[in-house]
Chain A
Amino acid sequence: MSPVSPFTTRSATALANERLQRALADVPGGFVAGRARAKAALPEFEALRRTGRDIKDHALAHLDLYLEEFERNATAAGSIVHWASTAAEACDIVLGICRETGARLVTKSKSMVSEEIGLNAKLEAGGLEVVETDLGEYVIQLRGETPSHLIAPVIHLSTADIAEDFLRHHDHLPPDRDTSSPAVLIAEARGILRPKFLAADVGITGANLLVAKTGSAIVVTNEGNADLTLTLPRVHIVVTSIEKVVPTLDDAWALLRLLARSATGQEITAYTTLVTGPRRDGDPDGPEECHVVLVDNGRSELLGSGMREVLRCIRCGACMNHCPVYCSVGGHAYGSIYAGPIGAVLSPALVGVQEAGELAQVSTFCGRCEQVCPVEIPLVGLMRQWREVAFGEPGDGRSKLLLRVWAFLAQRPRLYHAAARMGTAALRAFARGRGTVSRHPLAEAWTRYRDLPTPQGETFQARWARRQREPTP
């Protein structure tokens, strides 16, 4: 037997976790139904997907130019633009800014790039207190976990799970307080986060999009926490990745229309904020300094590979919500910051095929992800490309050997049909006249959960050949 893979181990745990399974059961009724309603309400939705694809393809084809244009215009607006080629470099830049500021407390709104580069750990090791202010991310931080979904970091948890976390961590509050509903839990978190917003020295956000023409970063949330994070502290740092840039505001609006509908089924997110530099003279509020850290971390390499389409992603999470594998095991089983179909094609590029190549194997290629992707990323084809990379790697002896034997036969029709006849006869002998086999030593992975249908008799080819020889009456 081949050794059990880390994914298999994690997914077995996930499948056995009843609470997780109950939480995942809500995905179809929530996000999937929401997207379907939003799509139905917008007749041009499919055309808009093609527009979104074209905008991203154009921006990616001229990424160098648009990034330089962004830098020029952001700088002109008073932002300081930093370039980071690796995760470590990005963390160093952010930590350096915090140190120069003399910061002790950092608030953060949700940012997948900061998760990707491991920013919180780096800042905490540098002596800073870091507080996540997105409710889901706040819970994740309390639990010491990573988000299990792009836009719903605690989709793997129930209200009861979160209540337990709050009772454990918020030990300055009376232990017998009401924690029974989302509303009271939200109020409790708000009570804790509000002073943090006010006391923070640095606020860190991500960016959903960067606009080259205006030098703006666009941040969308449904909680408004990003706005408190980026307006209240003295310094605002945007940590984002290079593929987020689009040429114009019009391009950005088209993508935002797709993003909200594909993610939650909303027409637009509750808060859509454009950040164009720090506070200007006469502004009533806003930070004194605004930094934008542009992270590459493997993306340039993807850009020059045959998998550029991965970089179209606008992080809506629709591919996850519609993925029967993701909905069976949840995000943590993937063992990667990016889970689901997009994780399967992005993670091997970010952390290597040795580490994350298996994620591209964990798909039936049902194609539902491609069908809902707002920027038409050919996710199945890209997963297949990663499988081709993995197939070229050494190792994985047994399944590759079986595939080679099969390939040898399949390319020799006479031999193949003879082998099919023998295999059929052997399986029928094993079944001893029953219609199914409930245990078979060579098909344990199948018969563990299902019966194996017995062949009806001779192969079709054998019967057909005989029928051709004997004229029908």
Chain B
Amino acid sequence: MTTQSQRPRVGLFVTCLIDILRPSVGFAAVRLLEAAGCDVEVPAAQTCCGQPAYNSGDRDTARALALQTIAAFDGFDYVVAPSGSCAAMLKVHYPRLLADDAEAAARAVSFAERVHELVSFLVDVRKLTALPGTFSGRVAYHDGCSGLRELGIKRQPRELLGRLPGTELVEMAETERCCGFGGLFCVKYPDISNAMVSRKTANIMAAEPELLLAGDLGCLINIAGKLAREGSRVGCRHVAEVLAGETAEPPIAQTSAP
């Protein structure tokens, strides 16, 4: 047992999409972090990681939001985000974004060292083995691009899912291929985004999972929205919901649980 004084203070970076669309993922993250022996706080001074600005070429806004986020999480032992994409922004891109100002750069680097994506934090840092969740059924896991390629997240979610008795993980074809969300890309180039997500949903349906899981709500609302439009019965959830047992809410883009 860890004593109170040894419990690390974790600041949860909620992410915009979870804040607005699916708070249950945030509560699932809190439950998992607590199960991993952390004290969790949610700074109210956080908003968005700045990725929409950064990837639109608006570097000034991205820098302002980077500084705001770093300040909001001052003093935490760790900063954890239930999203590979947002975590990569905080961990990989903030130091680059602030590189030309020595003082800000030093803060960005020390901040980045404390930032982790949720599932990789649970596995690699906290060595979590006992999970609150009890899901059983056939699941497929979609690797979000930023988490996969910028943070190297591939093994960790599979490892935790493997610890849920009764959960069968099937690997679908082209699991590392982009789903076509891409932040603003999906609304700037809807036709191409649709072609990409259609290929993704075809691969999902061919694997015949009960649930499609991922670590990024961006990918998930894109995939779930498409599956719903296609009339598929496959449910989509953030992997944290299943690991934490936060499955009272229906899957994404469905009205009732299957």
Contacts and interface: CB of A to CB of B under 8 A. Distances in A.
A401 B155 CA distance: 41
A451 B182 contact: no
B200 to A, nearest CB: 9
Contact of B20 (A407, A411, A448, A459): A459
Nearest to B225: A450
Contacts of B56: 387, 391, 399, 403
Given A8-B191, A364-B180, A465 B44 contact: yes
A451 B48 contact: no
Interface string A408-438: 0111010011001001100000000111101
A461 B13 CA distance: 11
Nearest to A409: B47
B57 A460 contact: no
A371 interface: yes
B178 A413 contact: no
Interface in A351-402: 361-368, 370-371, 384, 386-392, 399
Interface string B47-80: 1101011111111010011001000100000000
A411 B194 contact: no
A434 B22 CA distance: 14
Contacts of A410: 47-48, 50, 53, 61, 65
Chain A binding surface SS class: helix
A93 interface: no
Interface string B186-204: 1111111111110100000
Contacts of B254: 435-436
Interface stretch (B115-123, B130-138, B164-172, B245-253): B245-253
Given A367-B150, A449-B194, A457-B23, A391 B58 contact: yes
Contact of B23 (A8, A328, A451, A460): A460
B175 interface: no
Size class of the B contact interface (CB-based, 8 Å): 35 or more
B115 to A, nearest CB: 18
B46 interface: yes
Nearest to B176: A368
A436 B253 contact: yes
Most buried by A among B180, B192, B255: B192
Contact of B145 (A12, A366, A461, A464): A366
A348 to B, nearest CB: 12
Contact of B57 (A370, A388, A417): A388
Contact of A384 (B54, B68, B149, B253): B54
A40 interface: no
A406 interface: yes
A450 B229 contact: yes
A115 interface: no
Most buried by B among A390, A446, A449, A456: A449
Interface string B12-36: 0010101111111011000000000
B149 A435 contact: no
A460 B26 contact: yes
A330 to B, nearest CB: 11
Contacts of A403: 52-53, 56, 58, 61
Nearest to B59: A388
A1 interface: no
Nearest to B186: A446
Contacts of A406: 52
Interface of A: 8, 11-12, 15, 28, 324-325, 328-329, 361-368, 370-371, 384, 386-392, 399, 403, 406-407, 409-411, 413, 416-417, 420, 423-424, 433-436, 438, 443, 445-446, 448-461, 463-465
Interface of B: 14, 16, 18-24, 26-27, 42, 44-48, 50, 52-59, 61, 64-65, 68, 72, 145-146, 149-150, 174, 176-178, 180-197, 199, 221-222, 224-226, 228-229, 249-250, 252-256
28 contacts: A11-B192, A324-B178, A328-B195, A363-B185, A365-B55, A365-B182, A367-B146, A367-B149, A371-B149, A384-B55, A387-B55, A390-B57, A391-B57, A391-B59, A399-B188, A409-B47, A410-B47, A410-B53, A413-B47, A416-B48, A420-B16, A423-B20, A446-B225, A448-B194, A450-B194, A450-B197, A451-B229, A454-B21
Given A367-B149, A454-B21, 7 more contacts: A361-B188, A364-B178, A407-B65, A417-B44, A435-B250, A449-B193, A460-B14
